């Protein structure tokens, strides 16, 4: 393979926020639909949401962007546009987080939001787009009560097959992990898959708590695990996936520079590293861009990049048959690409 890996290879993505996939043009289109200013002044003001000084600044921008979503149809459009974005990178399967709790507090019924994104996802898939599945993402700083409600919403919505699990994001320093343990146990009892943002803004202790207290199946980000050698060995031994998002970490100043990014060291230390775009529009990236960054900016070899792409498929919440089929397609595409080099 002489070209950078990625290209037309079939891919999966497992750490992706629906709201953070909404680009400025789509945001302005939504405003116009609601009869609000969508002209140059609105473009200038809302354009600032796509530039971040640090992690708290990003959280504020994410909140403000969510404030522009006001009807179920807005989420349907966002889902349709996201599916089109994923097609360009040949993403066959994506597990997308949706922060329905934010909108429930603003009077939008979660059921209507989920019906809208489900219908849009089904239409995109029927038209040859990716298979989209959804995890409901809680806001950690709102506390365990709000997360318990989110688990109930997810369980009630899971029967259609598109809502598959729950996670929690936001400020890792807000509320101890132990306060959410009961809700995570209930989620597992109800058959929901689980993940949690940890080891992003906070250090290795946050990852330990996600593993030992919340007992999650995957770690959102987890890059600061590198600061604890015992933790890296534990992650490697248990093959607990890290949902890594390199451009996101640089944009939010979680990592100071590309040269100091931990992904290569984590991968070489045996951790099951995956690659994802997180909030692609807010960070000006795509999954294809993240693949390129692995080799061009993070110094991973072609074989290492291909292994991380395979890890990402292996870490999906697909059933065994679906995962095996996608892995088979991936391995065949890699073999063809290498044969034609």
Q: Give one DSSP letter per residue of 96-135, joined into a string.
A: EEE-HHHHHTTT--HHHHHHHHHHHHHHHHHTT--EEEEE
Q: Looking at residue 2, what is its pLDDT?
A: 42
Please check whether residue 5 lies inside any domain of the structure: no
pLDDT per residue as tens digits for the range 295-305 = 999 999 999 99
Q: Looking at residue 341, what is its pLDDT?
A: 62
**CB distance 148 to 186 below 8 Å:** yes
Q: Looking at residue 339, what is its pLDDT?
A: 81
Q: Looking at residue 1, what is its pLDDT?
A: 39
CATH of the domain at 331: 3.20.20.140
Q: Look up the domain containing 30 and give its range.
A: 11-339
Please check whether residue 186 lies inside any domain of the structure: yes
Q: Looking at residue 73, what is its pLDDT?
A: 97
Q: The pTM is what?
A: 0.95
Could you tell me which residues come within 8 angstroms of residue 72 by beta carbon, excluding any fewer than 6 positions away? 108, 112, 113, 115, 116
Report the distance separating Cα 27 and Cα 69, nearest Å: 8
Please check whether residue 263 lies inside any domain of the structure: yes
Please check whether residue 163 lies inside any domain of the structure: yes
Q: Which of 231, 291, 292 is nearest to 265 (CA)?
A: 231
Order of all β-strands in the sheet with 131-139: 11-17, 91-98, 131-139, 163-169, 193-198, 218-221, 242-244, 273-275
Q: Which of 247, 317, 296, 318 is nearest to 276 (CA)?
A: 247
- Which helix or strand (DSSP H or E) is residue 324 part of? helix 320-339
Please check whether residue 16 lies inside any domain of the structure: yes
How would you classify the pairing of strands 193-198 and 163-169? parallel
Query: How many domains would you assign to the chain?
Result: 1
Please check whether residue 6 lies inside any domain of the structure: no
Q: Which of 315, 271, 274 is nearest to 294 (CA)?
A: 274
pLDDT per residue as tens digits for the range 114-147 = 999 999 999 999 999 999 999 999 999 999 999 9
Please check whether residue 3 lies inside any domain of the structure: no
Q: Looking at residue 7, what is its pLDDT?
A: 72
Report the distance separating Cα 76 and Cα 115, nearest Å: 9
What parts of the chain have a pLDDT lower than 70?
Answer: 1-4, 6, 341
User: In the predicted model, what is the mean pLDDT of the chain?
Assistant: 95
Residues in the chain: 341
The distance of Cα 330 from the centroid of its chain, to the nearest Å, equals 21
Q: Which of 329, 303, 304 is nearest to 316 (CA)?
A: 329
**CB distance 94 to 130 below 8 Å:** yes
* Catalytic residue IDs: 200
Report the distance separating Cα 132 and Cα 308, nearest Å: 21
Please check whether residue 332 lies inside any domain of the structure: yes
CA angle 281–155–151, rounded 5-degree value:
65
């Amino acid at each position: 393979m002489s070209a950078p890996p990625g290209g037309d290879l079939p891919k999966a993505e497992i750490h992706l926020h629906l709201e953070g996939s909404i680009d400025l043009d789509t945001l302005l289109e939504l405003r116009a639909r609601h009869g609000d200013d969508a002209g140059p002044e609105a473009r200038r003001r809302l354009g600032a949401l796509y530039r971040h000084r640090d992690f708290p600044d990003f959280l504020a921008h994410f909140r403000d962007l969510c404030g522009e979503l006001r009807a179920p149809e807005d989420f349907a459009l966002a889902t349709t546009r996201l599916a089109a974005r994923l097609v360009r990178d040949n993403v066959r399967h994506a597990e997308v987080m949706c922060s329905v709790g934010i909108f429930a507090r603003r009077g939008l019924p979660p059921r209507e939001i989920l019906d809208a994104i489900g219908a849009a996802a089904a239409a995109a898939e029927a038209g040859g787009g990716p298979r989209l599945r959804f995890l409901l993402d809680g806001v950690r700083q709102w506390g365990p009560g709000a997360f318990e409600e989110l688990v109930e919403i997810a369980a009630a919505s899971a029967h259609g097959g598109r809502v598959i699990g729950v996670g929690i994001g936001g400020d890792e320093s807000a509320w101890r992990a132990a306060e959410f343990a009961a809700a995570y146990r209930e989620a597992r009892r109800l058959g929901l898959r689980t993940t949690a943002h940890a080891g992003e803004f906070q250090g290795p202790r946050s990852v330990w708590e996600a593993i030992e207290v919340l007992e999650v199946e995957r770690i959102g980000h987890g890059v600061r695990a590198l600061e604890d050698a015992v933790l890296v060995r534990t992650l490697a031994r248990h093959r607990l996936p890290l949902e890594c998002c390199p451009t996101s970490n640089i944009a939010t100043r979680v990592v100071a520079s590309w040269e100091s990014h931990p992904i290569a060291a984590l991968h070489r230390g045996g951790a099951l590293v995956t690659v994802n775009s997180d909030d692609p529009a807010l960070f000006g990236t795509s999954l294809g861009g993240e693949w390129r960054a692995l080799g061009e900016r993070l110094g991973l070899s072609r074989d290492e990049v291909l292994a991380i792409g395979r890890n990402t498929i292996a870490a999906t919440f697909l059933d065994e048959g679906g995962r095996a089929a996608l892995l088979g397609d991936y391995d065949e595409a890699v073999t063809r690409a290498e044969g034609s080099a």
